[in-house]
Homo-oligomer: A and B are copies of this chain.
Amino acid sequence: MVKIQSSETASNARGKDEGRASRRRGAELESALLEAAWEELKAVGYESLTMEGVAERAGTSRTVLYRRWPSRLELVLAALRHRGLVRTGTVPNTGSLREDVLALLRLVSDRVSEVGPQNLSALLSGVFADTGATAAVEDHFMNHNADVMEIILKRAADRGEIRGDISTRIATLPVDLVRHELLLARTPSSKLDIIEIVDAVFLPLVLTQKQA
């Protein structure tokens, strides 16, 4: 493992700034610790991440870490939460079911692509490493967007595009498939894939249900 010397972090921790306390305390310190953990996770991956490595990157000692988190796993998960990978709650409203769903999938896809493939691997590794899974992480990163799809489908039904009783399995299918590709390839779905998911899978299913 190659140690990365983080001179900026070290100098901040040791009170080189003027008119400022030399020691970080409380929330400021905790934020710095979690940021360091995230950076370390990105740099070396979960498998090679050590408490020592994070402490060094944060310009502190392991004792400080262990005062807050009993294990590297807990630390990493806390770091993921700290990064605030939350869902937006945005509901596309284009006037057409197809366009709404395409827009949603692109939104999901774009948001994830901000993370980057290496970070994505690190993130997923951390998520799966939690054997006592925290629902919050999964809710934020892996939720079905069922509520958003419900609104989109209700609007489509009100417009008369489809019937109003699409099952949850089908309602969540597009996002599920995008996420599936994300998990397999660790990169977001391509634009063509998104269109295929909507046109070849989702629309035939909801339109079939309408006709039946």
Docked complex: A2-53 residues within 8 A CB-CB of B: 45-48
Docked complex: A159-196 residues within 8 A CB-CB of B: 167, 169-170, 173, 176-177, 179-180, 183-184, 186, 196
- Given A200-B169, A208-B204: A131 in contact with B121 (beta carbons within 8 A): yes
Q: B126, B167, B180, B183: which contacts A200 (Cβ < 8 A)?
A: B167
Contact with B along A114-140 (1 / 0, CB 8 A): 000010011011101111010000100
- Given A201-B173, A205-B201, A208-B204: A129 in contact with B184 (beta carbons within 8 A): no
Closest CB in chain B relative to A149 CB, distance in Å: 15
Closest CB in chain B relative to A82 CB, distance in Å: 19
Q: What are 21 A-to-B residue pairs whose CB atoms are below 8 Å?
A: A45-B131, A46-B129, A47-B129, A47-B130, A121-B131, A124-B124, A125-B125, A125-B126, A125-B128, A125-B129, A128-B128, A167-B196, A169-B197, A169-B200, A169-B201, A176-B177, A176-B180, A177-B180, A179-B180, A201-B205, A208-B208
Q: Show the binding face of A for B, using Cβ within 8 Å.
A: 45-48, 73, 118, 121-122, 124-126, 128-131, 133, 138, 142, 167, 169-170, 173, 176-177, 179-180, 183-184, 186, 196-197, 200-201, 204-205, 208
